[in-house]
Chains A and B, each alone.
Chain A
Amino acid sequence: MSSEISPKAKPVKTTGLHVGDPVPGVKKVDPILVADGVKRTFGGLTAVDVEHVEIPRNAITALIGPNGAGKTTFFNLLTGFDKPDTGTWSFDGKPLAHVPAYRVARMGLIRTFQLTKSLALLSVMDNMKLGAKGQSGENLFRGLIPAIWRKQDTEIEAKALDLLGRFKLDAKKDDYAASLSGGQRKLLEMARALMSDPQLVMLDEPMAGVNPALTQSLLDHILNLKEEGMTVLFVEHDMHMVRHIADWVIVMAEGRVVAEGDPHSVMQDPAVIDAYLGAHHDADLGATDTEHVEAMKELIDDEQ
């Protein structure tokens, strides 16, 4: 673990993750997470209907798709925060269906939230310490006797300090998390997630609301996770970021996985363009979602 993060001009991409053609639901060489037939409906609306998807181990996978594609719902289902109507999914070979959220986290699958959940009236250090797993002092009766947990707590504090240093939050350690800026809270949430040494980190829109100056450092932190042997799955709308750091991209639209592949080829996939722009994007309908049109135009220009 180096405490210095050097900005990389071109991150090293992991390739050769899949077996066969990169179609939706393609088999991976070494999947860490496999989902089968996961379906979730809210009344008449089918939010998620994923037939089969595999997340490659020790790689950065991006989950993209237009608003309302079911990305966050899929996240919630995978991490036990929501229950699907049908479906099975397994993490590292262990079945995860009907496992409560806290057990999922204990198995090494840690998530963050789209709307940052820092624990406002706890100090930054307490936020971090809460992330550590297997603390004996978290038992009501053992907690009464400091001698039992003091040593472990000191170790956790040292680890938290190291992580806070890497995320440039060490000067803030005694402040309330409420006093941090939005971007710093994102950093804190990510640092807190790392306290438990997860195998799979799931980040829900890590860049939303982060100012551009912090973006580079957040990107480097995510790349570092891969270097340290972790797997990252993230939801993101910023296509530049996706193209910059993702090794693999899964595209969702209307609850389904519509395309998969490496970031360069997937963005030329007609299914992806349809998902973002609508199947009839050539037809002039007057008003269109200009933001996405811009984003896609930029990407297509970049690729050429």
Chain B
Amino acid sequence: MDWGAIFGNAVVELISPTTAAYALAALGLAIHFGYTGLLNFGQAGFMLLGAYGYAIPALKLGWPVWACVLTSIVASVIFALILGIPTLRLRADYLAIVTIAAAEVLRLVFTTNTFQDVTGSANGLSEYQAGLLQFNPFPPGRYGFGPWIFDNRVWFFLVIAWIVVALAAVFTWLIMRSPWGRVVKGIREDEDAVRALGKNVYSYKMQSLILGGLFGTFAGILFVLPRAVVPSYFQPSLTFFVYAILLLGGAATILGPIVGSIVFWVLLSFFSGFVARAVEAGWLPFMTQVQAGQLRFILVGIAIMLIVVFMPQGILGNKKELAFVK
């Protein structure tokens, strides 16, 4: 049993760009669900638009980085408007239904062969990072310390990702302590009461949906930078993992999604490393390697259930709130 490798692989996830991307997507959901009470189950859709909104113009049109990011932003805002205009006047559950369906529609549109020339269909797109990599300040080679040995590309993406996460966290902190944050938190508690006080609830919900969606979009870009983009990344299970991270960290907190993402990825990596090697060593004779690969997702499901039942406020959530949750 190579415990060193298991722990080594696990701690790599502490700072990996994927961890940062999930943290950012969860922060977007914190704005939606934790602060405004919007049940967005289509965060994967926003992430997909970010990923393809960046990759397609970069690869097919050769646009500069800023134009690609702008494309992602525009696509995501339009998506939020399409989702929000019909559903934000209705009860919260309707948004959940519409978002999960819309995210699936997007994924299937990007999977279909009809648009193969643009989307690359199920094979996706790759090698769209050139425009960004020309700004890479890290000298070529593989280096680092301890278990964190990456090549210069990964270091670059990693630094970008955590800078974006830090900026997003500061932004969220600033906005949630402002009167704007007070209004959206009021909407979470009771939107009719807030409406009766003269606030345009619909507009605030739309702003929140767009803002959290944009965080998801940026997360989508960060997520696909170190890899190729394929539509199968953006399955509904992606949204549920992001929700798991959010609930793990604490729904209405700033640092909760970041801590949640780190804990989630470290544990996930540890479990999969441990189970795979345990099967290899013959500790689990009833299991094959393929089954072992799936076991970690079963464990994630169990973990989500345990969190919701025994620690609904999450790691960083306010315990005081729990006393009043019905």
Contacts and interface: CB of A to CB of B under 8 A. Distances in A.
Interface of A: 79, 81, 100-103, 105-106, 110-113, 117-122, 126-127, 129-131, 133, 135-140, 143-144, 146, 149, 153, 176, 178-179, 189, 192-193, 195-196
Given A113-B192, A119-B186, A176-B320, A143 B180 contact: yes
A133 B198 contact: yes
A138 B179 contact: yes
B178 A144 contact: yes
B174 interface: yes
B178 A106 contact: no
B200 interface: yes
B275 interface: no
B182 to A, nearest CB: 6
B4 to A, nearest CB: 46
Contact of B185 (A110, A121, A189, A193): A121
B90 interface: no
A103 B186 CA distance: 18
B203 to A, nearest CB: 9
Given A113-B192, A140-B211, A176-B324, A131 B197 contact: yes
A102 B200 contact: yes
B207 interface: yes
Interface string B283-323: 00000000000000000000000000000000000001101
Contact of A138 (B192, B199, B324): B199
Interface residues of B, number: 31
A121 B193 CA distance: 13
B189 A120 contact: yes
B324 A121 contact: yes
Interface of B: 171, 174-175, 177-183, 185-186, 188-190, 192-201, 207, 211, 320-321, 323-324
B195 A121 contact: no
Q: In this complex, which of A112, A121, A133 has the most chain B Cβ atoms within 10 angstroms of its Cβ?
A: A121
Contacts of A137: 178-180
B190 A119 contact: yes
Nearest to B193: A117
A140 B35 CA distance: 14
Nearest to A127: B186
Contacts of B199: 102, 130, 138
Nearest to A177: B189
Closest 5 CB pairs of A and B: A143-B178, A137-B179, A105-B198, A143-B180, A117-B193
B189 A119 contact: yes
B324 A140 contact: no
Given A120-B324, A121-B321, A121-B324, A139 B180 contact: yes
24 contacts: A81-B196, A102-B195, A102-B201, A105-B198, A106-B198, A110-B197, A110-B198, A113-B192, A117-B190, A118-B190, A119-B186, A122-B189, A130-B182, A130-B186, A133-B198, A136-B179, A137-B179, A137-B180, A138-B182, A143-B178, A149-B179, A176-B320, A192-B197, A196-B198
